């Protein structure tokens, strides 16, 4: 009579079931991932609407002045808050969910794949939400104020909804991926590892800025991004997101959860 060890029993489960367990672990508290950012986004929207109303009320009503004020509203970065929040969500997911996943029998590979599936799904969901709100904003002439919170120029042309869906999806995926790397570094190396990482990153960025300045390459740098447009610029974030996801997995392969 032979006994099946626990690791063997876990490995015998279908991969889809193992990944689904990791996804369910990440989504166990939807208040943090969905409800809280929606509430804060709603509060930010109301604050922006009041500001738009006050600005419009204090501005001349001739067509040129109205057009000038609406043009200024196109540079609002209020909706970018959610992207940063999702990076924090990713950091917490790696730091808090990783020990639980291993405790419930998930392997590091299953955790990485399940986490990637969760982040891709959340990125798609938030992209649909942002694109839907952008369509409503466009149909209501900027919520009746000519404002632009979800049609800000950062997201590309406001009449190309396929492009908008792609840019927001890749944007959310990028912040999830970057957050996962930060979280993985903290899980394995704790605060000291993060400090060293940010120091090294700062040195690299300063070096690149110095190189571009000394070689007078800023003009070519700007022309490159103008040439590829919004779609190409956001598409460049996909390889970075993939590399970040792989790096997070490699870091976690040797990480030991600690209380």
The reported pLDDT for the residue numbered 56 is 83
Residue 4's pLDDT is 46
* Per-residue pLDDT in tens (0 to 9) along the chain, 259 residues: 444 444 554 555 677 888 899 999 999 888 888 899 999 999 999 999 998 889 888 877 777 777 777 777 777 788 888 999 999 999 988 888 898 888 888 899 999 999 999 999 999 999 999 999 999 999 998 898 888 889 888 887 666 888 889 999 999 999 999 999 999 999 999 889 999 999 999 999 999 999 999 999 999 988 998 888 888 889 999 999 999 999 999 999 888 876 5
Per the CB < 8 A criterion, the answer to whether 184 and 92 are in contact is: no
C-alpha span between 225 and 82 (Å, rounded): 24
Look up the pTM and report it.
0.88
Residues of the chain with pLDDT > 90, as a percent, come to 53
Tell which residue, 110, 41, 137, 133, has the closest CA to residue 82: 41
Of 79, 239, 112, 109, the closest CA to residue 183 belongs to 112
For residue 135, what pLDDT is reported? 92
């Amino acid at each position: 009579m032979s006994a099946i060890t626990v690791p063997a029993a876990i490995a015998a489960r279908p991969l889809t079931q193992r990944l689904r367990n990791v996804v369910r672990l990440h989504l166990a508290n939807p208040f943090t991932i969905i409800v809280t950012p929606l509430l804060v986004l709603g509060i930010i929207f109301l604050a922006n609407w009041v500001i738009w109303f006050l600005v419009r009320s204090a501005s001349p009503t001739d067509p040129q002045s109205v057009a000038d004020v609406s043009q200024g509203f196109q540079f609002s970065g209020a909706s970018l808050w959610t992207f940063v929040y999702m990076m924090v969500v990713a950091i917490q997911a790696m730091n808090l969910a990783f020990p639980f996943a291993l405790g419930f029998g998930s392997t590091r590979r299953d955790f990485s794949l399940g986490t990637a599936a969760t982040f891709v799904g959340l990125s798609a969901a938030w992209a649909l939400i942002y694109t839907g709100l952008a369509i409503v904003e466009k149909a209501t002439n900027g919520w009746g104020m000519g404002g632009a919170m979800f049609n800000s120029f950062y997201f590309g042309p406001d009449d190309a909804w396929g492009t908008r869906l792609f840019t927001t999806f890749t944007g959310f995926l990028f912040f999830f991926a970057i957050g996962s790397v930060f979280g993985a570094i903290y899980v394995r190396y704790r605060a000291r590892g993060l400090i060293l990482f940010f120091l090294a990153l700062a040195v690299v960025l300063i070096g690149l800025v110095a190189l571009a300045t000394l070689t007078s390459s800023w003009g070519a740098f700007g022309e490159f991004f103008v040439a590829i447009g919004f779609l190409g610029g956001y598409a460049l974030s996909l390889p970075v997101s993939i590399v970040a996801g792989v790096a997070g997995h490699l870091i976690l392969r040797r990480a030991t959860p600690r209380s």
